[in-house]
């Protein structure tokens, strides 16, 4: 890659602080070959509106937390986490062809458009450093894999409708409810198999073993219909006891 990234001072606290520093400190800017005419004409351009934060959440959070420079690292990290979470979960686009759509809905559409136009390609990396139990640093591997399709539209819509109905579901905390909502938006596919270790073989592709977290999820779902498929008192899965003669 080029190492060049987009600066978004409206919704990225670090970018907002950087823009202000370059404007307010000409000597600092000069160290990087940046002249006043490169920064002074530019103001924050609103692109996302967030209820309670306005249309420039980075500016709002920097003022709220009293962030003045790059040295306020802890406050910048706090501001970034909050603006990114709120922007994705409740933010609404106010600019461009997807204006009026929630950020969480617009993001995958924009991604697909850029890939089709040849302006981007898929790239995966861990959010932070991941170390295995053997003390090896992990990377993302591009391999064949089976997935649980949590993002399947009808299933996701049904779950979201239930979670957001305060007569049927209680999260006990607004922040928790927002995280449920956000997770339902981004959790599309979950890798559920591996080719080593203990576990249950994937019935239709026995070179794979169901990984432990997915195993627990699948069993909880299976228990709700097991008596129809497996039959009563049929722990060993005997075909003769199955209502549908499933082996």
Q: pLDDT per residue over 198-219, tens digit each?
A: 888 998 999 999 988 888 888 8
Q: Is the dihedral of CA 158, 162, 165, 167 positive or negative?
A: positive
d(CA 62, CA 246): 61
CA distance linking residue 5 with residue 182, whole number of Å: 25
Question: Considering the chain, what percentage of its residues have pLDDT values greater than 70?
Answer: 98
User: Exposed, middle or buried by CB within 10 Å (0-12, 13-18, 19+), for 85?
Assistant: middle
pLDDT band at 15 (very low <50, low <70, confident <90, very high): very high
Res. 184: pLDDT tops 70: yes
Whether 69 has a pLDDT exceeding 90, the answer reads no
- Region of residue 101 (phi > 0: left; psi between -120 and 50: alpha; otherwise: beta): beta
**pLDDT on residue 86:** 92
Compare 237 and 173 and report the one with higher pLDDT.
Answer: 173
Measured at the alpha carbon of residue 206, what is the angle toward residues 202 and 210, in degrees to the nearest 5?
35
The more confidently predicted of residues 82 and 242 is 82
Lowest mean pLDDT among 35-39, 105-109, 193-197, 221-225: 221-225
Residue 135 backbone zone (phi > 0: left; psi -120 to 50: alpha; other: beta): left
pLDDT at residue 197 tops 60: yes
What pLDDT digit, counting tens, does each position of 81-126 carry?
A: 999 999 998 999 999 999 999 998 899 899 999 999 999 888 888 8
Does residue 3 register a pLDDT over 80?
no
**What was the pLDDT predicted at 205?**
93
Per-residue three-class SS string for the chain: CCCCCCCCCCCCHHHHHHHHHHHHCHHHHHCCCCCHHHHCCCCCCCCEEECCCECCHHHHHHHHHCCCCCCCHHHHHHHHHHHHHHHHHHCEECCCCCCCCEHHHHHHHHHHHHHHCCCCCCCCCCCCCCECCCCCECCCCCCCCCEECCCCHHHHHHHHHHHCCCCCCCCCCHHHHHHHHHHHHHCCCEECEECCCCCCECCCCCCCEECHHHHHHHHHHHHCCHHHHCCCCCCCCCHHHCCCCCC
Query: What confidence tier does 75 reach under pLDDT thresholds 50, 70, 90?
Result: very high
């Amino acid at each position: 890659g080029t190492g060049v990234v987009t600066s978004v001072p409206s919704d990225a606290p670090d970018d907002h602080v950087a823009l202000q520093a370059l404007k307010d400190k000409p000597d600092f800017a000069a160290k990087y070959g940046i002249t006043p005419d490169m920064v002074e004409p530019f103001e924050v351009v609103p692109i996302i509106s967030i209820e309670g934060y306005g249309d420039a959440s980075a500016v709002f959070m920097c003022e709220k937390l009293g962030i003045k420079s790059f040295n306020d690292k802890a406050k910048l990290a706090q501001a970034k986490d909050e603006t990114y979470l709120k922007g994705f979960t409740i933010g609404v686009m106010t600019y461009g062809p997807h204006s009026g759509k929630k950020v969480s809905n617009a993001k995958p559409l924009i991604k697909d458009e850029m890939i089709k136009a040849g302006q981007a390609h898929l790239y995966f990396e861990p959010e932070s450093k991941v170390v295995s139990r053997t003390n090896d640093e992990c990377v993302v591997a591009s391999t064949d894999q089976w997935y649980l399709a949590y993002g399947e539209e009808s299933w996701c819509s049904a779950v979201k409708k239930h979670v957001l109905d305060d007569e049927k579901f209680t999260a006990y905390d607004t922040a928790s409810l927002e995280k449920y909502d956000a997770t339902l938006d981004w959790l599309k596919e979950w890798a559920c198999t591996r080719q080593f270790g203990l576990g249950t073989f994937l019935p239709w592709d026995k070179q794979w073993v169901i990984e432990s977290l997915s195993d627990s999820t699948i069993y909880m779902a299976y228990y709700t219909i097991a008596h129809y498929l497996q039959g009563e008192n049929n722990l060993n899965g005997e075909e003769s006891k199955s209502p549908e003669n499933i082996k």
